[in-house]
Structure 1
Amino acid sequence: MTRTRSRGRRILRWTLGIVGGLLLAGIVGILIYSQVGVMAAEPEPLAAVRDDPDIAITDDSGAIVLAPASGASDTGLVFIPGAKVDPWAYASILSGLVTDDDLTVVITKPWLNLAFFDLRGLSSFTDLAPDVDAWLVGGHSLGGVRACQLAPDADGLVLFASYCANDLSASGLPVLSLSGSEDGLSTPQKIADARPNLPADAIMVEIPGASHASFGDYGPQAGDGTPTATDADVEAVVVTEVGDLAASLR
């Protein structure tokens, strides 16, 4: 009986050791994956934002805040980056919302560069701009999927080359979906397939010639289509459409 118990303990320790080793290997693998191949912000568009006297920039440990230098802002956007994309890569395409529409834009810094692992609630970011009264939440690619999860706590939702995995069809939220005709990742078909998860009156805008990477300034992305729209073309649509949605909240 003693020998049987001793053998049982050895098997248990051996089993737990294997399970622990697999868990450790998985954690290490995720950490390595999250840090390797992060797509950096292109320097020229970012420099233009940093040099813009009409934009006040706060680089917080959890997010980047772009606000009108005048301080006049009652509407904001919490924006969640795509997987393994430098948050600064979205500063340029969103900057027009600050200068033209007086929005405060909070670009989050997802844990492990992956929005899927970031469990912070919306208030973690809206608290960075306490004077803002109404908030949109949005995101690009995987960041948009996470934004859908946070949308019930916001006043509206904006998707950049993304779609919802959760059902918001009965939420009553104002929703804007911006996509690209040349997107090789969040393809037009994937956008259409996930359309039932959005309210019936969601605004769906497909930008001709835009690819997946057209919604940020981080260079080409593996698996994406070839864009024919210029960065200026895409930014103009973003500023107009998101600005109109934000204006409807005021």
Structure 2
Amino acid sequence: MLVRHGLTAMTGPVLAGWTPGVGLDDRGREQVRDLAARLALVPIAAVVSSPLDRCVQTAEALVEGHLAAPIEKVESDERFGEVRYGDWTGRPLKELAEEPLWKVVQAHPSAARFPGEEGEAMADAQHRAVRAVREWNERIAAEHGADATYAVCSHGDIIKAIVADAMGLHLDQFQRIQVAPASLTVIRYTELRPFVVRLNDTGGDVRDLLPPPPEEGGGGGEGDAPVGGGA
């Protein structure tokens, strides 16, 4: 399960990036409480988070609201951190939209590298995030079984990049994917290919994410396992 952090005071008008101290606002805290309540009975083997405050707070809400089994702590993985926007960090989106690079980011993101010493290429951000998912898939499967589900709390562009990879889309198509604050995306990774089970889910029933009764078998066919069997 891939979970975008809840709303912050900077979400929307400003490119927060790795700005320190950006936590959830009242709206964001309500969003993640509601999400945690929806997922309370879904077995989650682990919760992994970007190290940024807004994601850690979202992850902690999932852990606190989880009733299916105790989760000892939130695991941190910097590879799920936000894209490093370099000199764009902290600037209003309205202002950035006037930059020549903005059009590249929107239409040809695979060629985009953000300015400044700390700036990262979008392709590099996708690579680190997808590699992290694959490694966590292996770790969770080894520790909890191939059908185990875990949650990753991350950021919009990172989740979109992971989804694009799972759908076999070129990174240049990832801007067509929508990932709202506090939304749930579920990917099932199998030996053959990934399956996008849910995308940008912000409400509704999650009973289909519960494991089937023993008599119905597990997995999902063809060795399918959901990020559940992955993330």
Shorter-chain TM band: 0.3 to 0.5
Relative contact order (alpha carbons < 8 A, sep ≥ 6): 1 or 2 greater? 2
Q: How does the TM-score come out when normalised to structure 1?
A: 0.32
Which has more helix, going by share of residues? 1
Higher-Rg member (1/2):
1
Larger relative strand fraction: 1
Length-normalised TM-score, structure 2:
0.34
